[in-house]
Amino acid sequence: MSYNIIVLAKQVPDTRNVGKDAMKADGTINRAALPAIFNPEDLNALEQALKLKEMYPGTKVTILTMGPARAAEIVREGLYRGADGGIVLSDRAFAGSDTLATSYALSAAVRKIGNFDLVIGGRQAIDGDTAQVGPQIAEKLGIPQVTYAEDIIEVKDGKALIKRRIESGVETVKAPLPLVVTVNGSADACRPRNARNVQKYKYAAVPSEAAADEKVKALIEKRPYLEIGEWNAQTVDADLAQCGLPGSPTKVKQIENVVFTAKDARRVENTDAELEKLIQELIANHTIG
Amino acid sequence: MANFYTDNEALKHYLSHPMMEKIVALKERDYADADKYDYAPQDYADAQDSYDKVLDIVGEICGDIVAVNAEDVDHTGPRVVNNRVEYAEGTKKNLDACRKAGLMGMAMPRRLGGLNFPITPYIMAADIVSRADAGFENLWGLQDCAETIYEFADEEQKQKYIPRVCAGETMSMDLTEPDAGSDLQSVMLKATQKEDGSWVLNGVKRFITNGDADIHLVLARSEDGTKDGRGLSMFIYDKRNGGVNVRRIENKMGIKGSPTCELTYKDAPAELVGSRRLGLIKYVMALMNGARLGIAAQSVGLSEAAYREALSYAKERQQFGKAIIEFPAVAEILSVMKAKLDASRALLYACSRFVDIYKVYDDIAKERKLELDEKKEAKEYSRLADAFTPLAKGMTSEFCNQNAYDAIQIHGGSGFMKDYACERIYRDARITSIYEGTTQLQVVAAIRHVTTGTYLNWIKDQLSLECKPFVQDVKETLDFMAQQFANAVEAVNGVNDPGYLDFMARRLVEMAGYTVMGLLLLEDANRNESFERSLRVFVKLGQAEVAKHADFIGNFRPEQIKNYLYEK
């Protein structure tokens, strides 16, 4: 049995090594100062898809990413690791999307791809940390979802057997296809880029990229597999009212640049009474709890 | 999140060496594969870009996986379970990453599943892997053995085994026996031909790196009753057929992740490679040359690791109110380490380029007759490769030991504890000047080229090249060193006694080494000014070393040899 898998991946600013110029004066992310990377948990999701492709020959893995044309780099990264193809969902109409509008656009693209068995994405993206997009897509598609997945153990008889990482430990669940799965960072790390695939796909591009480079354009004409799909709102039959800013009920009132002010370390005696006192204090000032 | 390729600019410097354009065009047969394989380069720029991208993968795997696992692999090591080797957990993960990344069989042609990389970028990968974990480099680097199958086995054997190596199966070269180490002519493992023409192997091998490999190249005595190298042939043993067991794994000082095995062969089925009797005198010699280049790469990678550990410690460690690197005594050690490292790498890649050219001509010669000028060129580079390989192996492995020693010195008392990577590097480095031929045996291989003038001619050619004014003074020093070397060769030749030449050989080869490496750094500085500092430090060191040897040879009376020799 083989499956059609869509992997949701996002190009994000690398917020793991934030310098002092990471935020602009207005409190938004300074994307120019941070390198754009493959969202880490989406790589964990891709590994699950590639593992299933190995387990079930004939399985097809498609990367779906929403963003500007340069997000094609995410699709190339996926191809280097073993994905079969990819689509960049790109339209000015999507600008300013919150999680609701994003999941609307992505679910429209998933529908357009059609005939899928699994939609796998990372739990959350490191630029927003909402963990909402995966579940919202499942709701919009009207199909079940398994979140916090750590291992898709097998897919058999129309059901996927999945190990979840939950607060109190792990649980193993079975869910019917088609299915949305969001994967935790504690799952297996993604395999490295493959030397042969890198050489094969390094010129893969979306049409708008290829238009700027004659050599790439000519090569893509000769090798159609190098063309990465570039879809817009119209391609996926999206209702513009539900896209971008108009479709985003989230309103950002204010962004505060928090600067840690505490300077001194405090020593606490290692006794139950002292620790209890500290815990109460931290709860009182809302540091924990 | 480390990348051992992108954080080391020297690698790109050598990857873009002017000679590479010719090497790549030859290797790619003027890019004839471009439309035949979807991953073949279209032109030189495309090929360079591919090497760069693939080395980026190697750098990432090494920085994020192999280097991270190194300490644990060193502590746990492999074990024998039911006559089979079980690698350390970290080793398994390293191998898995390399397989998934398609980094096996890198130099093999595409039609057999390889990447068709020239030797130079392949050796670059070996350099990077060794910096991360020298022990792992042995397992990964044994893909080199596929080269021997490619060169000497028949087409059916190539089709059968090479794609398996490219897909990630590991290899070993089973040469050494309890009584045949440096002296391989004494190999006793018995190869017997059965009535149906097939062969079986019986006997024992010792000190076999990765002895439980999937595919073995085995040196065995096929000619009953013979005693010397001419009775030995080369065989392939396929683990799938069974017949070879691992009796034990040696408990070594370093490279502990790499299993060194004692093997027993009991009617192990094997296939003859090439012709009988050529096992040692032709095939092992070719195999060894490749392996020696690999050890030179391993030495350079270890030197790099040693230098980086020392540098970062010297910057962090505060004494007397400042970082110890600010003390001249410490800074000097570090600058000499860096100079030895850079000179080693310069020699490594000069050698790999020579090997690249002659090997690719050898390969082309299987497809068509070489033109006269091609033949001449092939011969010239073959001789240079033959001269530079033992020089590179000898010099880089000694320097890597010196750098590993100095790395510990910089760490002071902490370096003597098991807490820092420098002690592992020190132990790992120690084998490089021993295996694949000791430094003493490299001298034996190199001295021929001292007396026949291979080094001197090459040095003369280099000195005739223009250099930029800012390094003109260094060139003059190198010219002077070359003179002293030439004089010493003449003095030793003048005595006309093989015993005397033998006695002075190490000194002469070192004089060649310092001069050659200095000239290579001169070329590097010409192309990239960031090499100037290492050039100046290295040539200062070389000048003193060459003068020391010149002094020793100049003031030595032949009859004084007896003070050094053993008398029964």
Give one DSSP letter per residue of B325-353, joined into a string.
Answer: GGSHHHHHHHHHHHHHHHHHHHHHHHHHH
Residues of B in contact with A193 (CB under 8 A): 57, 60, 101
Q: How confident is the model at residue A17 (pLDDT cuts 50, 70, 90)?
A: confident
Cis bond leading into A176, ω under 30°? no
| Helices and strands (H, E) in chain B, number of each type | 19, 11
Partner residues linked to B249 by β-bridges = B261
The verdict on a CB contact (< 8 Å) between A191 and B97 is: yes
Q: Is the pLDDT of residue A257 over 80?
A: no
Kindly report the number of other CB atoms within 10 A of residue B472's CB atom. 11
Give the N- to C-terminal CA distance of chain A in Å, as an integer: 48
| Contact call for B50 and A199, based on CB within 8 A | yes
> If you write DSSP's letter for every residue of B417-467 in order, what string do you get?
STTSHHHHHHHHHGGGGTSSS-HHHHHHHHHHHHHTTHHHHHHHHHHTS--
Q: Which residues of B touch A202 (CB under 8 A)?
A: 49-50, 53
- The overall average pLDDT reported for chain A is 92
Q: Pick from A194, A196, A202 the residue to mutate for testing the B interface (most B CBs within 10 Å).
A: A196
pLDDT band at A114 (very low <50, low <70, confident <90, very high): very high
- Coil vs helix vs strand at B264: strand
For residue A19, is pLDDT > 80? no
What are B87-96's contacts with CB under 8 Å, separation 24+?
B87/B139, B87/B257, B87/B259, B88/B257, B90/B257, B91/B136, B91/B139, B91/B257, B93/B65, B93/B69, B94/B61, B94/B65, B94/B66, B94/B69, B94/B133, B94/B136, B94/B139, B94/B140, B95/B139, B95/B140, B95/B168, B95/B170
A234 or A260, higher pLDDT: A234
CB within 8 Å: B39 and A196:
yes
Query: What does the pLDDT read at residue A268?
Result: 87
Cα(A269)–Cα(B3) distance, rounded to whole angstroms?
43
Q: Does B78 touch chain A (CB under 8 A)?
A: no
Q: What is the pLDDT of residue B289?
A: 87
Closest CA to B313 of B400, B430, B425: B425
Give how far A48 is from chain B: nearest CA, Å: 15
**What pLDDT does residue B140 have?**
97
Question: Does the distance separating the beta carbons of B106 and A202 come in below 8 Å?
Answer: no
Instruction: Name the residue among B40, B49, B57 with its Cβ closest to that of A195.
Output: B57
Q: Is the pLDDT of residue A263 over 80?
A: no
- Average pLDDT over all residues of chain B: 97
Task: Note whether A192 contacts B61, CB cutoff 8 Å.
Answer: yes
Is it the case that residue A267 has pLDDT exceeding 90?
Answer: no
Across the interface, which of A191, A192, A199 has its CB nearest the CB of B39?
Answer: A199
pLDDT of residue B221: 97
Residues 5-34 in B contacting A (C-alpha not used; CB under 8 Å): none
- Identify the pLDDT of residue B328: 98
- Taking CA atoms, B235 is separated from B8, B148, B191, B275, B420, in Å, by 40, 11, 9, 10, 43
* pLDDT for the residue A24: 77
CA-nearest of A70, A88, A5, A87 to A32 is: A70
- To test the contact with chain A by mutation, choose from B60, B100, B117, B128 the residue with the greatest count of A C-beta atoms within 10 A, namely B100
Out of B50, B53, B97, name the one closest to residue A192 (CB): B97
The CA R_g of chain B, rounded to the nearest whole Å, is: 24
Q: Closest residue of B to A197, CA-based? A: B39
Position A81 scores a pLDDT of 98
Nearest CA in chain A to B101: A194
Percentage above 90 pLDDT, chain B: 98
Q: Among partner residues A194, A202, A219, which is closest to B102 by beta-carbon distance?
A: A194
Residues of chain A positioned with their CB less than 8 A from the CB of B60 = 192-193
Q: What percent of chain A has pLDDT over 70?
A: 99
- The CA-atom distances, in angstroms, between B205 and each of A58, B159, B276 are 45, 27, 20
Amino acid A256: pLDDT: 75
What's the rounded Cα separation, in Å, for the pair A134 and A147?
8
Indicate yes or no: CB of B53 within 8 angstroms of CB of A199: yes
Question: Could you tell me which chain A residue has the CA closest to the CA of B41?
Answer: A199
User: To which H or E segment does residue B323 belong?
Assistant: strand B322-323
pLDDT score recorded for residue B434: 96
- Interchain proximity A202–B49, CB inside 8 Å: yes
- What confidence tier does A21 reach under pLDDT thresholds 50, 70, 90? confident
Nearest to B239 by CA among B148, B169, B155, B152: B169
Using the beta-carbon criterion (under 8 Å), do B97 and A198 form an inter-chain contact? no
Size of interface A-B (CB pairs under 8 A): 47
| Comparison of pLDDT for B125 and A264, the residue scoring more | B125
DSSP string, A38-51: E-HHHHHHHHHHHH
Q: What is the pLDDT of residues B368-394, one digit of tens each?
A: 999 999 999 999 999 999 999 999 999
Q: Is the pLDDT of residue A258 over 80?
A: no
Domains and CATH numbers, chain A: 4-242 (3.40.50.620)
Give residue-wise pLDDT tens across range B148-158. Answer: 999 999 999 99
Query: Does A191 sit within 8 Å of B100, measured CB to CB?
Result: yes
Please tell me the distance in Å from A23's CA to the nearest CA on chain B. Answer: 23
Q: Residues A248, A86, A201, CA angle at the centre, nearest 5°?
A: 140
Q: For residues B176 and B208, is the Cβ–Cβ distance under 8 A?
A: yes
Q: What pLDDT is recorded for position B105? A: 93
Determine whether the interchain pair A202/B53 forms a contact, defined as Cβ–Cβ distance below 8 Å. yes
Give the model's pLDDT for residue A16: 77
Q: List, for residues B92-125, the tens digit of each pLDDT value.
A: 999 999 999 999 999 999 999 999 999 999 999 9
**CB contact, 8 Å: B60 with chain A?**
yes
Q: CA of A193: which chain B residue's CA is closest?
A: B101
For residue B510, the model assigns a pLDDT of 98
Reference B57, options A205, A198, A63; nearest CA is: A198
CB contact under 8 A, A223 and B38: yes
**Per-residue exposure over B94-131, b if at least 16 CB sit within 10 Å of its own CB, e if not:** bbebbbbbbbbbbbbbeebbbbbbbbbbbbbbbbbbbb
- Tell me the chain B residues in contact with residue A223 when contact means C-beta distances shorter than 8 Å: 38
User: What is the per-residue DSSP string for B484-534?
Assistant: HHHHHHHHHHHH--HHHHHHHHHHHHHHHHHHHHHHHHHHHHHH-GGGHHH
Q: Which of A171, A164, A183 is nearest to A45 (CA)?
A: A183
Structure tokens at A287: 């540091």
Interface test with B, best of A14, A199, A223 (most B CBs within 10 A): A199
Strand A118-122 and strand A4-8: the pairing is parallel
Cβ-Cβ contacts under 8 Å, A200 against chain B: 38-39
Do the bridges between strand B84-86 and strand A179-183 make them parallel or antiparallel, or are there none, so unpaired? unpaired
Cα–Cα dist B218/B175, whole Å: 6
Instruction: List b or e across A241-273, with b for residues whose CB sees 16 or more CB atoms inside 10 angstroms.
Output: ebbbeebbeeeeeeeeeeeeeeeeeeeeeeeee
Token output for B155: 């087409």
Region B186-194 average pLDDT: 96
Q: Chain A residues contacting B, CB < 8 Å?
A: 16, 191-200, 202, 219, 223
Interfacial B residues in 94-123 facing A (CB < 8 Å): 97, 100-103, 106, 115
Contact B207, B260 (CB under 8 A): yes
Q: Is B39 a residue whose pLDDT tops 80?
A: yes
Classify residue B418 as left (phi > 0), alpha (psi -120 to 50) or beta.
alpha
On whether any CB of chain A is under 8 Å from the CB of B132, the answer is no
Closest listed residue to residue B67, CA positions, set B346, B257, B323: B257
The pLDDT value recorded for residue A29 is 74
Chain A residues with CB under 8 Å of B61 CB are 192
> Which pLDDT score, from 0 to 100, does residue A287 have?
81
> pLDDT at residue A289 above 80?
no
- A175-184, A230-239, B158-167, B282-291: which range is least confident on average? B282-291
B101·A202 Cβ contact <8 A: no
Query: Do residues B236 and B188 touch, judged by C-beta distance below 8 A?
Result: no
**Angle formed by the axes of helices B119-132 and B44-61, to 10°?**
20
Nearest CA in chain B to A219: B42
If you compute the radius of gyration of chain A from its CA atoms, what whole number of angstroms results? 21
Per-residue model confidence as pLDDT tens digits over A75-91: 999 999 999 999 999 99
The three-state DSSP-derived secondary structure of B169-191 is: CCEEEECCECCECCCHHHCCCEE
State whether B57 and A191 contact (CB < 8 Å): no
User: What would the mean pLDDT of B227-245 be, rounded to a whole number?
Assistant: 97
Quick check: A28 and A140 in contact, CB under 8 A? no
Q: Identify the pLDDT of residue B429.
A: 98
The residues with which B271 forms a beta bridge, in sequence order, are: B236
Of B41, B42, B101, Cβ closest to residue A193? B101
Task: Delineate the domains of chain B, giving CATH numbers in brackets.
Answer: 9-165+281-433 (1.20.140.10), 170-277 (2.40.110.10), 439-563 (1.20.120.470)
Q: Tell me whether residue B225 is exposed, middle or buried, using C-beta atoms within 10 angstroms of its C-beta: 0 to 12, 13 to 18, 19 or more.
A: exposed
What six digits make up the tokens of B238? 């396929």
Interface residue of B48, B53, B92, B143 to substitute, partner A, most A CBs within 10 Å: B53
CB contact under 8 A, A223 and B49: no
Chain A residues whose CB is inside 8 A of the B53 CB are 198-199, 202
| pLDDT digits 0-9 by tens, B458-479 | 999 999 999 999 999 999 999 9
Question: Cβ distance A193 to A185 under 8 Å?
Answer: no
Question: What is the structure's pLDDT at A102?
Answer: 95
Which residue in chain B is spatially nearest to A224 when comparing CA positions?
Answer: B38
End-to-end CA distance of chain B: 60
Q: Which of B38, B42, B97 sits opposite A200 (nearest CB)?
A: B38
**CB spacing of B40 vs A199 below 8 angstroms:** yes
**Tokens linked to B59:** 């750098």
